[in-house]
């Protein structure tokens, strides 16, 4: 057994030799069976001639079909078909030789058809049988190794069977499938290579205890996000590791490799059902157009650029002030070799003159405005930057879009603009108010105009500075994981999903709408932290501690997608709605925003924030140094 454990793959010459021995055995047994083991009836010359010819044509058939090149321990139905083909070719070769010998050369039969048929059947049987025996022997050895990890596979379909085969046959993978789980009631109770199939998740706790299972592999290719979450949550509660077989299009050369089975990520627990988009309308909207994306190097901006480029616009202009991030994005886009022209521009939306030159030169027809400062504590510390970028920068870009006859301007906003409790949220709400009132003012002219559309959504998974990469880094360092408050919740959406909805909403918009996205159910951040710790293989409060640091300045306990006074209107897309917000007069908001220019010269954070509260009455600071301004308002 020790010798066999060291063997990984039998050399081809060994397989060819074994096949030759089987052929020899088969032809001899064929003669014996044909003559009922009565040796006296044997014609020695015919026997020798028949054996030699059967072995020679058999070897030629092996070379033609390359049947000896298969890995015996990975024998499959395909190998059986190749062996059948090899025996079939051997039969045809000998039949041809028989006909030539008997009819053309008048030398009699080389081998009788009865012996040929018997020998061919025996050879095929034993060629397949010995391969299966060796395969099972290797599987038995692996099954009884002490360091093999017992695992369960969820999904008894083709991917699950393939995974089982990999675990059983690859010496480097020290895992063994002890059971299958499947939601198909027709499969329950059956077996796959000795492993029983159980219905659903009900039996998983018992299986874990019985076999000391340490890992579950999710192999179902088309599994709903909700079911995936249920499976992973059950694994976390039982303390077992969870992994996922990726979609077939991610397999290497169409084959699943052992290292291709990936770890479960927190995104798997937070992801939702795939979006049904009207891609034809999006393509029609973008095809052949010149599209500018501000903040192109950011999390949302870079994904927008990549998605937009695949709809074959004439040109995509990537505008950002971050040099390194913009350069990296440029390299990524160049590597895609898309037919769309990619233009990389280092620029700042706060600088009106430089942005004016860009729009005059490139004449974009559609602008996706993703440039913004978005970190709540940072903007609470530097309100003047939020005013310059989020408010005045947006105004610059929007005004220039009008003067340069841009067809559509899609602004990326945030749920933090709803009942804002911080500077960042208030600055985005003021930007929303401006572009919406500008659209209203243009609509009244009746002339061809720029259509302004706003999209509003919550946190995106994996975005720069979001809680998930922060938690990952803290877990890698051994903790503690810091959560601001035990009850804090947030909505989450993947970056690709958010950008897909932005593009769809951009197509829908006729101007003046604020689109809000269905963000699903809010997630408790402390639960998110616990799950991330468990997914890393650690135990909460034993290996990694969770500490509550207190709400940061301006931070909310709960995010909102709508103001209490707002209502929504449904659209043809179930995940996109239109918020019915109160409109403001254009001249009024222009005057209020222009006032910021004078206030910036005073170098007073309090004056800036106080003015923001005047524009956005629902802006009530939370855990902020500016909270006293709300008390002053109450006294008045």
Peptide bond into 480 cis (omega under 30): yes
Percent helix, percent strand, percent coil in the chain, to nearest 5 = 50, 15, 35
Please compute, for residue 64, the number of CA atoms within 13 A of its CA located in the half-sphere on the CB side: 15
Return the bridge partners of 490, or none: 523
- Supply the residues annotated as catalytic: 416
Return the bridge partners of 83, or none: none
Is 89 in contact with 64 (CB distance < 8 Å)?
A: yes
Q: Which of 421, 414, 423, 550 is nearest to 487 (CA)?
A: 550
Please compute, for residue 196, the number of CA atoms within 13 A of its CA located in the half-sphere on the CB side: 9
The single residue listed with the structure tokens 């007069």 is: 585
* Alpha-helix residue ranges (DSSP H) falling in 212-351: 225-238, 266-270, 279-286, 299-309, 323-335
Q: Which of 459, 439, 400, 453 is nearest to 576 (CA)?
A: 453
Strands 215-218 and 149-154: parallel
3-state secondary structure of 346: strand
Q: Which residues contact 501 (CB under 8 A, 6 or more apart)?
A: 275, 455, 457, 515, 517, 573, 575, 576
Give the whole-angstrom CA distance, residue 523 versus residue 94: 72
| Tokens linked to 529 | 């932290």
Burial code (b: 16+ CB inside 10 Å, e: under 16) for 124-152 equals bebbbebbeebbbebbeebeeeeeeebbb
């Amino acid at each position: 057994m020790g010798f066999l454990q060291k063997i990984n793959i039998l050399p081809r010459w060994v397989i060819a030799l074994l096949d030759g021995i089987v052929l020899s055995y088969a032809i001899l047994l064929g003669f014996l069976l044909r003559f009922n083991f009565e040796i006296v009836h044997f014609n020695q010359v015919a026997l020798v001639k028949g054996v030699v010819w059967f072995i020679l044509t058999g070897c030629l058939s092996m070379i033609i079909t390359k049947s000896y090149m298969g890995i015996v321990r990975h024998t499959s139905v395909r190998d059986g078909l190749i062996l059948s083909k090899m025996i079939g070719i051997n039969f045809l070769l000998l039949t041809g030789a028989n006909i030539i010998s008997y009819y053309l050369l008048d030398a009699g039969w080389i081998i009788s058809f009865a012996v040929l048929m018997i020998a061919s059947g025996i050879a095929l049987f034993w060629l397949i049988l010995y391969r299966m025996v060796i395969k099972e022997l290797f599987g038995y050895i692996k099954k009884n190794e002490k360091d093999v990890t017992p695992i369960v596979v969820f999904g008894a379909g083709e991917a699950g069977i393939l995974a089982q085969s990999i675990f059983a046959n690859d010496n480097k993978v020290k895992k063994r499938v002890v059971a299958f789980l499947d939601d198909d009631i027709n499969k329950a109770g059956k077996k796959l290579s000795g492993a029983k199939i159980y219905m659903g998740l009900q039996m998983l706790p018992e299986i874990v205890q019985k076999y000391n299972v340490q890992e579950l592999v999710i192999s179902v290719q088309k599994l709903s996000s909700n079911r995936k979450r249920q499976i992973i949550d059950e694994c976390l509660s039982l303390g077992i590791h969870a992994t996922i077989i990726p979609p077939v299009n991610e397999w290497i050369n169409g084959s699943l490799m052992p290292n291709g089975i990936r770890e479960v990520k927190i995104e798997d627990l937070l992801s939702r059902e795939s979006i049904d988009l009207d891609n034809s309308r999006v393509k029609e909207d973008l095809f052949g157009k010149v599209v500018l994306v501000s903040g192109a190097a950011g999390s949302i901006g870079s994904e927008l650029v990549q998605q937009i480029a695949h709809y074959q616009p004439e040109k995509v202009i990537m505008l950002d002030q971050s040099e390194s991030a913009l350069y990296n994005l440029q390299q990524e886009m160049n590597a895609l070799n898309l037919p769309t022209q990619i233009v990389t521009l280092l620029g700042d939306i706060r600088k009106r003159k430089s942005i004016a030159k860009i729009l005059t030169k490139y004449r974009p027809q559609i602008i996706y405005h993703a440039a913004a400062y978005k970190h709540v504590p940072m903007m609470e510390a530097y309100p003047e930057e939020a005013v310059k970028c989020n408010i005045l920068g947006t105004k610059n870009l929007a005004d220039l879009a009008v003067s340069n006859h841009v067809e559509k301007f899609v602004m990326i906003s945030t749920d933090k603009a709803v009942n804002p409790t911080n500077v960042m949220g208030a600055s985005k709400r003021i930007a929303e108010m401006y572009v919406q009132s500008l659209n209203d003012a243009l609509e009244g002219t009746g002339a061809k105009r720029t259509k302004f559309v706003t999209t509003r959504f919550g946190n995106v998974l994996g975005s720069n500075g979001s809680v998930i990469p922060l938690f990952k880094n803290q877990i890698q360092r051994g903790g503690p994981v810091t959560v601001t408050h035990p009850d804090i919740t947030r909505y989450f959406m993947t970056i690709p999903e958010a950008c897909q909805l932005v593009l769809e909403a951009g197509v829908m918009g006729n101007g003046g709408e604020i689109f809000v996205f269905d963000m699903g159910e809010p997630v408790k951040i402390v639960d998110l932290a616990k799950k991330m710790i468990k997914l890393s293989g650690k135990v909460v409060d034993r290996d990694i501690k969770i500490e509550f640091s207190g709400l940061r300045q301006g931070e909310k306990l709960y995010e909102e997608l709508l103001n209490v006074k707002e209502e929504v209107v449904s659209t043809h897309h179930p995940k996109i709605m239109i918020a019915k917000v109160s409109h403001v007069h254009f001249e009024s908001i222009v005057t209020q925003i222009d006032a910021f220019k004078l206030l910036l010269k005073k170098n007073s954070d309090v004056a800036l924030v106080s003015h923001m509260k005047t524009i956005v009455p629902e802006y009530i600071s939370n855990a902020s140094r500016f909270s006293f301004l709300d008390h002053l308002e109450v006294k008045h």
